Each structure stands twice: as structure tokens, then as C-alpha cells.
A = this chain, B = another copy of it.
Amino acid sequence: MNQQNQQNCMVAQSGGPTVAINASLAGVISGVTKSKQYDTIYGSINGILGILHDNIQNLSELTANNPNALDTLKHTPAMFLGSCRFKLPDFLDDDSAYIYIFQKFESLNIKAFFYIGGNDSMDTVLKLSNYAKKIGSDIRIIGIPKTIDNDLMETDHTPGFGSAAKYIASSILEIAHDTFIYAVKSVTIIEIMGRDAGWLTAAAALARNEYSAAPHLIYLPEVAFDKDAFLQDVRRLLSTTNNVIIAISEGIHDADGNYISASESSTDTFGHSQLSGAGKCLEYMIKENINVKVRSVEINVLQRCAAHLASKTDLDESFLLGEKAVACAEEGITASMVNLVRTGNNPYTVTYGYAEIDAIANEAKSVPLEWISENGNDVTEPLLEYLRPLIQGEVPVTYKNGLPVYMNVSHLSHSKPLN
């Protein structure tokens, strides 16, 4: 086939890392390899910025040269293609980036563009779709969801969430073992990501088993945080339990919408005023009000990059969503995001579909209030039923010299810094 007749496609990744976002990339590459319609797949490095900065890789060559590449890619954390936090302007205000992007698409014979990301990335999918429509381009533009926050609309859950949930629940079980050893009253606060959605913090409840009730309390951002009720909860538990473990969302806030965080100014030579997280703030609150040993643990970036403890369910679904995106583009679908539709819980089953992008971009899905206990300090059984299937199964991690083997990402260090 000469270059004129080639039909190629392009993929990019954007937003915050998850353990599953490369599984979707592997799925897209696999889908294109199987496709009768697309020849070469290109990867744009650092999201949409790769197009704007002419930083584009031939991904078909990547897999042609390394037969194990797709499998290793599926298990590699974060983004093989790098990411960006770039918001396209409204093309009615400034269409220069759009003109450049669609010229690049034309010069590379791009017939489909796949963008793997979260809420902000779906905004990019929406804007590119609208621009394509405006200029009469038939390029298929498909979003592939990912976010550990699980807050995307129009999908039962998001790729990356199940693995983060599994890591958090496993880590909290291990922290419970760590905490239970001392016959001394103590409180351990575990701060979990998820921004303004409580899904990931709710997953902490999966750590409970026949010998451990940890986390004993769970606070989500969907319910206003009440300091007095919190201290009462902790005191009540300490009267019957030695070691109280509490899971809280980074995004908890009071009834007025103010985030629960301690604004601290250091008293030594490094005099910046710093905002510390909700966990630290609750640690101080307990120290101030209850005479008990207290510690806060911020699981931090590990919850989104610990690929050594991914959920097999999550990675398999993420891979198949990548393949589904290619199939959708082949069918002529555009301006859409592929999605997961749960069709059963016992046994757990999903189907792979798609939804129009304008119902998704710039929206966020919260934990329904009926899935939170009435007093706002725990989750209910229906939420646990929703969560349990998502952390099932372990992935075979390859180790070399005692460390997990992931894809070489040295190409990312060649990206020119933007600042």
C-alpha cells in the first residue's frame, strides 16, 4: 500500500497516572494490529502536546521489534506515552492549536484519534470532536476512560480504580497488622486520594475481614465533615477498641464547603506557609482533644502507581476497552467514550459499550448518598457489593534482580521541559 492510501491512527494519554492506563494503550495497539482498517499507529508523547510539539512515536514499530512488548506494557504503571495537564482553548476564541492538530492528522493520514484519560481529557475529546464536526473532518475521535478517582459519568467504573482500590485495601489490612501489635490505645488516620469523590476511600472498607474491623471509621467528601461528631466517634470507639484505624478522603470538607486541612507556618528558617492535608489536620485535631497516640499515613502516589499489586479484573477490562475503542472507530463512531456496563454481580459480568462524549466531559460522579451510612462515618453493603468484583484477581508480575520489570520509558526524558 503506498503512503497515499494509508489509513493510520494515533493514541495519547493524559491526566494523572493509574496502573491500568498502559493496559488500555496495549489494547489500542492490539486492536490496531488486528484491524483491517488501520495500518500504522502513532503515539503522541505528553498527551495532545506531542502533536503540537512534533513529538510523535511509531508504536507499530515498537511492537514489531519486541514480541513481549504488549504484555510488559499492559503491566507497566503510569503512562508509557507521558502525560500533560493541557486544556485546549475554546476554538471559537482561538483555533490555532486546532488548525495545527488537524493539519498534523492529515499529514500522517490519521483517521482515528484515541485519547486515554479522565475528566479533563474527555474535555479535549469533546473539543476535538466539535471542531472536527465544524470543519467536516471524518476523523473518529474516541475517549478511553481512566482515573483512580472513579468519578467519570456514563461508565459503571473507570480503569485504574480497581487496582488502586486493591492496593489501598491490601495496604490497610497490612497497616492493621502493624497497628494491632501494641496493647496501647492508638488512632491511625489514613488519607486516601480521590479529589471530591469518595470512591477510593470507600474501597478501604474492603480491608475488613473476620479478625479486623479496620478501618473502623470512613469519611467521604460526599458528606459534610463535622469535627464534634468525628471526635465523638473516635472516643466511642476507643472505649472498646485499642487501635482505631480511620480512612478519610483527601477532599473532606465542612458544611460550608471548606476543605479540612491545617494551614501551617514553619517556625524555623523555612518560613513558607504550607497547607497540609486532611490526614495531618485530623491527627492534630485528635492530639488536641484526645489523650491518645495518633499517627497519620498518606498513601500518596503509591496508590496510583503500585503496578506490582494490580487488579487482574481492572487490567483485563482496561485492555479490552482499548480494543473496543478501535472497533468503535472502525464502525464509524466518533465524539464518544468507550465504557463499561455492568450486567451482573453474581457472577460479575460487564459489557463494553460507548456513550456520547458531551454527557461525560466536565462532569463528575459522586458516591450516592444512599451508599453512605446515615451518620456519615461508614459505607453501606450495596457499595461493598459494587466494589468487591473490581479488585479480584492478581496479575503475573515479572521480576528481575528482585524488582518488577516494566517498559523502558527513557524516551520520556527527551521531552523538552515546558517550564
Chain A residues in contact with chain B, CB under 8 A? 13, 17, 46, 49, 76-79, 82-85, 166, 169-171, 173-175, 177-178, 180-185, 206-207, 209-212, 241-242, 262-268, 270-274, 276, 280-281, 284-285, 287-288, 295, 297-302, 304-309, 311, 388, 391-394, 397, 399, 401-404, 406, 408-410, 412-413, 415-419
Contacts of A174 in B (CB 8 A): 77-78, 302, 305-308, 404, 406
Asked if A419 meets B185 with Cβ closer than 8 Å, knowing A77-B174, A169-B403, A408-B210, the reply is yes
A290 CB, nearest partner CB in chain B, Å: 12
A18 CB, nearest partner CB in chain B, Å: 10
Number of copies of chain A assembled together: 2
Decide: A183 and B309 in contact? CB cutoff 8 A: no
Q: In chain B, what residue has the closest Cβ to A21? A: B181
Decide: A77 and B404 in contact? CB cutoff 8 A: no
Q: In chain B, what residue has the closest Cβ to A83? A: B181
CA distance A206 to B399 in the complex (A): 13
Decide: A270 and B281 in contact? CB cutoff 8 A: yes
Interface residue from B268, B306, B394, B397 paired with A171 (Cβ < 8 Å): B306
Decide: A180 and B412 in contact? CB cutoff 8 A: yes
Asked if A305 meets B177 with Cβ closer than 8 Å, knowing A272-B287, A413-B242, the reply is yes
Decide: A402 and B169 in contact? CB cutoff 8 A: yes
Contacts of A271 in B (CB 8 A): 288
Asked if A211 meets B410 with Cβ closer than 8 Å, knowing A270-B262, A297-B301, A417-B242, the reply is yes
A326 CB, nearest partner CB in chain B, Å: 23
Decide: A413 and B298 in contact? CB cutoff 8 A: no
A271 CB, nearest partner CB in chain B, Å: 8
CA distance A82 to B180 in the complex (A): 7
Decide: A391 and B403 in contact? CB cutoff 8 A: yes
Decide: B78 and A180 in contact? CB cutoff 8 A: yes
Contacts of A166 in B (CB 8 A): 402-403
Contacts of A46 in B (CB 8 A): 181-183
Decide: A409 and B263 in contact? CB cutoff 8 A: no
The 4 closest A-B CB pairs, nearest first, are A391-B402, A183-B415, A211-B410, A178-B305
Q: In chain B, what residue has the closest Cβ to A283? A: B274
Decide: A77 and B211 in contact? CB cutoff 8 A: no
Decide: A177 and B409 in contact? CB cutoff 8 A: yes
CA distance A211 to B399 in the complex (A): 16
Q: In chain B, what residue has the closest Cβ to A289? A: B270
Q: In chain B, what residue has the closest Cβ to A271? A: B288
A242 CB, nearest partner CB in chain B, Å: 5
Decide: A264 and B263 in contact? CB cutoff 8 A: no
Decide: B183 and A49 in contact? CB cutoff 8 A: yes
Interface residue from B78, B298, B304 paired with A298 (Cβ < 8 Å): B298
Provide 16 A-B residue pairs closer than 8 Å at the C-beta atoms, listed in order of the A residue. Answer: A17-B177, A46-B182, A82-B183, A174-B302, A174-B404, A175-B305, A177-B406, A178-B304, A180-B413, A183-B416, A207-B403, A242-B413, A264-B265, A272-B287, A295-B301, A297-B301
Contacts of A404 in B (CB 8 A): 170, 173-174
